[in-house]
């Protein structure tokens, strides 16, 4: 048993609490986070509920949430995205996830991703494997990009969007010419969970917010894949690029990100 396994029931309980709030909630008042970016009342309510529960159950573990920042410091930190896919949620699209990861010395070691509007849950603990709704899951293993369905991360919004999106658009164009299909789901947590499950064969995302990726990285790695930074460098909470997959397809995706930093 992994040293982190005893914390999985705590994480699942926290995510179940969050998922219930998402299922029952409506977007309500929107809070602007920048040009074309937002948070809803439900985002804030979920984050506070999970933070308070984890503070009670694991007071020695720090907490980082997307909406309200950090509480506590130490080797272990819970990392939460209360609603990954807020724009989907606001528009009534069911691709929405609650993403809770546990990071040890800045490396994800446990992850729970719940899709409250679809009824699916994905879990992983370092050294104990990855599961989809309780059943073991493994990444896919296509040998060629031409046989692979690849997810791409959202395009940037805001003042620097044009400059940031130049690289994204170039990579998407290359994938459109070479991959079997390209998908943009609007939620990194779902992207990573579905790479881990083998529904998607890879992900390339020219960004890395820890609350978006911490849980999903644990899922992919425990399902037999890997997640790396630009040029194939080791991925960390400070990485600027997130590339997930396995085998030759992962190598092809890494090549689209340019040299190592």
Which residues are part of a known binding site for Mg(2+)? 66, 81, 83-84, 212
- Binding-site residues, please? 66, 81, 83-84, 212
- State the CB neighbour count (10 A cutoff) for residue 136: 10
CA angle 97, 224, 132 (to 5 degrees): 40
What is 74-109 written as a DSSP string?
Answer: SSEEEEEEEEETHHHHHTT-S--EEEEEEEETTEEE
Q: Closest Cα partner for 239 from 188, 175, 200, 176?
A: 188
CA distance 260 to 245: 18
CA distance 250 to 201: 9
CA distance 145 to 157: 28
């Amino acid at each position: 048993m992994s040293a982190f396994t005893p914390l999985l029931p705590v994480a699942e309980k926290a995510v179940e609490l969050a998922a219930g709030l998402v299922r029952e909630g409506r977007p309500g008042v929107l809070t602007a986070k920048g040009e074309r970016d937002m948070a809803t009342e439900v985002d804030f309510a979920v984050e506070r509920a999970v933070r308070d529960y984890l503070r009670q159950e694991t007071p020695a573990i720090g907490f980082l949430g997307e909406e309200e920042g950090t509480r506590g410091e130490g080797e272990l930190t819970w990392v939460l995205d209360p609603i990954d896919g807020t724009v989907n949620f606001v528009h009534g699209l069911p691709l929405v996830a609650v993403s809770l990861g546990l990071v040890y010395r800045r490396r994800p070691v446990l992850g729970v991703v719940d899709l409250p509007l679809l009824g699916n849950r994905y879990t992983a603990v370092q050294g104990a494997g990855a599961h989809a709704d309780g059943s073991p899951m493994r990444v896919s293993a296509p040998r060629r990009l031409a046989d692979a369905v690849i997810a791409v991360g959202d395009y940037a919004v805001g003042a620097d969007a044009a400059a940031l999106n130049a690289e994204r658009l170039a990579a998407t164009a290359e994938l459109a010419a070479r991959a079997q299909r390209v998908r943009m789901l609007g939620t990194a947590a779902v992207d990573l969970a579905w790479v881990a499950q083998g529904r998607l064969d890879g992900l390339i995302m020219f960004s890395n917010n820890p609350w978006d990726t911490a849980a999903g990285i644990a899922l992919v790695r425990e399902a037999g894949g890997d997640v790396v930074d630009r040029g194939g460098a080791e991925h960390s909470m400070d990485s600027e690029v997130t590339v997930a997959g396995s085998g030759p397809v992962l190598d092809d995706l890494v090549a689209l990100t340019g040299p190592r930093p």
